[in-house]
Amino acid sequence: MRILFLGDVMGRSGREAIEKHLPDLKSKLKPDVIIVNAENAAHGFGMTEKICKGLLEMGVDCITSGNHVWDQRDFILYIDKEPRVLRPANFPAGTPGKGSYLHQLDDGRKILIANYMGRIFMDPMDDPFAGVQDLLKPHTLGKTVDAIFVDFHGETNSEKMSFAHMLDGRISGLVGTHTHTPTADATIFSGGTAYQSDAGMCGDYDSVIGMRKDIPIAKFTRKMPTERFSPADQEGTVCGVLIETNDNIGLAKNIGPVVVGPRLRNVMPDF
């Protein structure tokens, strides 16, 4: 199975970058499953029903999120009725929406997609390390499901790595989100799980993690209240990861970064 995961969509430039580049990525990389983290897609803060429907119509199979999932209040009603749009699974019990989605391909293969959020330098959450054990109890990689993918939304690479190493050999791949900066550590762990600390963002990289440069610079230099952060709006770059799994056992065979657009060095997997 070929899994294409695209990192945090930042505002209009991120949405337009996906709209521009996704058809070509689909043609060249031939993914079986497309997953996108869109938690900053609505002007940098949350998601809307219209944005999610647009991504799904473009061929995205599942949309993940993170700490900005509730920034648009009206979105709560939509996420509760759309199983393909996820919020982190370790929100408290009773929170609207779901943290995982079992997607079945046209050929019958199944992939379990899960979304978790870290707790280091983040809002207080339920323990993701304990929660994922319950999620995986009914699922056996290569038997009940053909692949398992996790988007881990967190600040620190140590937490992301620890989570992935704990699950090494039990999931196909884990890719981090939230920092908006693509890391250079795409690898396959000894147990067969693919990993990258952060996929990076889909957005304008002539910015401060996707935001207009002047506002955070003023915040850091003047230590005074500033206007609300606003996304940079020049041409965006698409950043993500492609993972290829072994259909017999569900573990990873290949992982490679995907970077297409201005400012960053463009990279495409060669498998």
Q: Which of 21, 43, 68, 178 is catalytic?
A: 68
Helix (H) or strand (E) holding 215: helix 214-222
Whole-number Å distance between alpha carbons of 257 and 231: 24
Q: What is the CA radius of gyration of the chain?
A: 17
Active site (annotated) includes residue 153: no
Q: What is the spatial order of strands in the sheet that 187-188 belongs to?
A: 100-104, 110-117, 147-153, 173-177, 194-196, 187-188
Number of Cβ atoms within 10 Å of the Cβ of 221: 8
Whole-number Å distance between alpha carbons of 65 and 78: 14
In the block, which residue shows the tokens 């293969």?
A: 109
Report which of 156, 200, 157, 155 is spatially closest to residue 182, judged by C-alpha positions.
200
- Tell how far CA 261 is from the center of its chain: 18
Whole-number Å distance between alpha carbons of 44 and 52: 14
- Positions marked catalytic: 68
